[in-house]
């Protein structure tokens, strides 16, 4: 588990959990935080479950700001859900406070810990197995946008500064090319050229946000399927989880990253680029679900820009993989030489396929206006 069970129990006992702790087990397979499931006996026939989580302090260097974001957004969501007649214990994350007050615990070794109420009767999935699940995730992320449309996005902390600032990502890429620390530039000239041919694209969403042409919104920034809890009985997405990257941004970031990940016909590190394409049926299905979930909260300009959101989030991801490759693979974990280069190439192949299908993507989006 990384930490001895006795240590985990001691940390868990700092929080206002109900009942007697019966078990603590590793949970999920997240890449950033360490997560454990707590099972507590509150009555002879009833248990209460919680999620204990170590926040990755190397990725998230401002735990105060991060938890201030989480507390603000979750309390806002709970209020909205309650007003709508929903169940705030299942439809939003619930932070369990420390016994002495506060939202997280700091260990002597510098690690930070928090506890959430476990969402009962639901699961998350790592890959799209059924188109219906992809659609339900779109509705759920759209509904997340709808519920938070009145939240003051500008009040949120940037837990990872410039996370979706494509202009900044481009500049860091140029610096990596110029420095050529690993002497790899010569072998990736085609990929470098691919990026530079799309330099103007990298400015589009940033410029539109700066000018107010599209509104600043609360963005989740990690809209993969596994960050939606799907109800066991109905199959519907009931709760958006993993709010660590909630920041001020654009709804187009969330939509675009979902398309990048979920509508791709191949794996993120597929070497055979002929297997990479944007599945227009999944693109259409997600677009339908996202717009429905937003319930009219998106502007006409945002809807028309959805294809650009998909293209730019994919391009940005490819730029990040390529930058890391040029700098020596220090950010993303790799499992083979040139792993980041393979990842970069799949993203760029996806971008090129989107460009080839651009008119079709626009027609699909127009049909939902």
The kind and range of the H/E element at 144 are: helix 131-147
| Domains within the chain, CATH numbers bracketed | 5-118 (3.30.200.20), 131-366 (3.90.1200.10)
Quote the CA–CA distance of 32 and 28 in Å, as a whole number.
11
> Six-digit token pair at 308?
């650009």
Burial 51-86 (b: 16+ CB within 10 A, else e): bbbbbbeeebeebeebbbbbebbbebbbebbeeeeb
Instruction: Give 305's contacts (C-beta < 8 A, 6+ positions apart).
Output: 205, 208, 214, 252
DSSP 244: T
Tens place of pLDDT per residue across the chain (369 aa): 456 889 999 999 999 999 999 999 998 655 456 899 999 999 999 999 999 999 988 888 899 999 999 999 999 999 999 999 999 999 999 999 999 999 999 999 889 999 999 999 999 988 778 899 999 999 999 999 999 999 999 999 999 999 999 999 999 999 999 999 999 999 999 999 999 999 999 999 999 999 999 999 999 999 988 999 999 999 999 999 999 999 999 999 999 999 999 999 999 999 999 999 999 999 999 999 999 999 999 999 999 999 999 999 999 999 999 999 999 999 888 999 999 999 999 999 999 999 999 999 999 999 998
Quote the CA–CA distance of 268 and 4 in Å, as a whole number.
34
């Amino acid at each position: 588990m990384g930490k001895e069970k006795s240590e985990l129990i001691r940390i868990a006992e700092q929080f206002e959990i109900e009942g007697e702790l019966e078990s603590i087990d590793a949970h999920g397979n997240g890449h950033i935080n360490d997560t454990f499931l707590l099972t507590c006996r509150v009555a002879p026939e009833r248990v209460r479950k919680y999620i204990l989580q170590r926040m990755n302090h190397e990725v998230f260097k401002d735990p105060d700001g991060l938890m201030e974001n989480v507390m603000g957004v979750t309390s806002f969501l709970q209020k909205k859900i309650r007003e709508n007649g929903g169940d705030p214990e299942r439809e939003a994350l619930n932070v369990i406070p420390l016994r002495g007050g506060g939202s997280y615990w700091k260990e002597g070794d510098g690690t930070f810990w928090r506890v959430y109420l476990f969402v009962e009767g639901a699961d998350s999935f790592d890959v799209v197995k059924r188109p219906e699940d992809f659609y339900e995730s779109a509705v759920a992320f759209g509904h997340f946008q709808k519920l938070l449309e009145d939240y003051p996005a500008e009040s949120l902390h940037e837990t990872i500064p410039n996370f979706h600032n494509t202009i900044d990502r481009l500049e860091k890429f140029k610096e990596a090319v110029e420095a050529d620390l690993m002497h790899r530039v010569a072998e990736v000239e085609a990929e470098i050229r691919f990026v530079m041919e799309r330099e103007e694209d990298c400015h589009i969403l940033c410029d539109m946000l700066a000018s107010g042409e599209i509104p600043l919104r609360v963005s989740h920034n990690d809209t993969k399927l596994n960050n939606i809890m799907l109800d066991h009985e109905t199959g519907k997405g009931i709760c958006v989880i993993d709010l660590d990257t909630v920041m001020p941004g654009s709804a187009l970031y969330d939509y675009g990253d979902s398309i990048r990940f979920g509508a791709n016909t191949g794996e993120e590190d597929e070497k055979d680029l002929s297997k990479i394409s944007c599945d227009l049926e999944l693109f259409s299905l997600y677009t339908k679900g996202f717009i429905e979930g937003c319930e009219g909260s998106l502007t006409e300009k945002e809807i028309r820009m959805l294809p650009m959101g998909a293209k730019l989030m994919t391009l940005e991801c490819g730029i990040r993989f390529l930058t890391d490759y040029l700098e020596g693979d220090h950010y993303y974990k790799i499992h083979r030489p040139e792993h980041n280069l393979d990842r970069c190439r799949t993203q760029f192949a996806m971008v090129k396929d989107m460009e080839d299908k651009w008119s079709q993507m626009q027609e699909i989006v127009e049909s939902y206006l």
